[in-house]
Chains A and B, each alone.
Chain A
Amino acid sequence: GDSVTQMEGPVTLSEEAFLTINCTYTATGYPSLFWYVQYPGEGLQLLLKATKADDKGSNKGFEATYRKETTSFHLEKGSVQVSDSAVYFCALSTLENAGGTSYGKLTFGQGTILTVHP
């Protein structure tokens, strides 16, 4: 089956440091890849996505490139801020069908806790 593996946390950085969170995946089909972020006490928000090989998703200074040859989708940010402290989830989506309707079904990594200190 499909699976996503993220680097284990927690990750603790000083403000303005460089961030990398590794993510690799296995999938039977051709998945779309996502990074979601969860701030304390809240639900998940989409951070960025990439839908095909070599696509780069970017948002709020975060970037991730869909690498099909290495089955990876590592998250990077050049200079983190205290406000970036959150849990980050890598996820893949494949197409499922139910009752005649198709939809993207997500498989999540285990999440990486990021703490940024001033």
Chain B
Amino acid sequence: GAVVSQHPSRVICKSGTSVKIECRSLDFQATTMFWYRQFPKKSLMLMATSNEGSKATYEQGVEKDKFLINHASLTLSTLTVTSAHPEDSSFYICSVPIGGRRNQPQHFGDGTRLSIL
């Protein structure tokens, strides 16, 4: 069964709306989660590392005030796209690393397709 649950799977909304995406780790506690953005026919771009109990770590070029990340508990991280505009339309995917070693794979949510009209 699914290890990571991401919700919603698809959002269509008007420009200026704020959209919240949830990522839940179903089977284990996760002090760290990752948020990626994927453009059409492109690879995944790491946006930020979500850290439980502390501020998220953002990658260079990602606007902190635009993409708000809250790691509220050991099983839940949320990404809020504030005042979304058409250029924010994309496929957003979260992932959870398993264990504390480099050889452990990450488990990915099914992604959220965000379309801003």
Contacts and interface: CB of A to CB of B under 8 A. Distances in A.
A58 interface: no
Interface string A17-55: 000000000000101101010000111111001010000
A101 B110 contact: no
A42 B53 CA distance: 30
B8 interface: no
A104 interface: yes
Interface string B68-80: 0000000000000
B42 A31 contact: no
Given A104-B102, A104-B103, A98 B108 contact: no
Grouping DSSP codes into helix (H, G, I), strand (E, B) and loop, the A interface class, with mixed when no group exceeds half, is strand
B25 interface: no
- Interface size classification for chain A: 20 to 34
Contacts of B49: 98, 105
A89 to B, nearest CB: 7
B102 A31 contact: yes
Nearest to B10: A41
Nearest to A97: B100
A81 interface: no
B105 A46 contact: yes
A46 B4 CA distance: 13
B109 A43 contact: yes
B105 A49 contact: yes
A43 B43 contact: no
Given A42-B111, A106-B106, A111-B42, A101 B100 contact: yes
A99 B53 contact: yes
Given A42-B110, A103-B97, A93 B6 contact: no
Given A34-B105, A43-B111, A106-B34, 9 more contacts: A42-B110, A43-B109, A89-B43, A98-B49, A99-B51, A102-B100, A108-B43, A108-B44, A109-B43
Interface of B: 6, 31-32, 34, 41-44, 46, 49, 51, 53-54, 57, 93, 95, 97, 99-111, 113
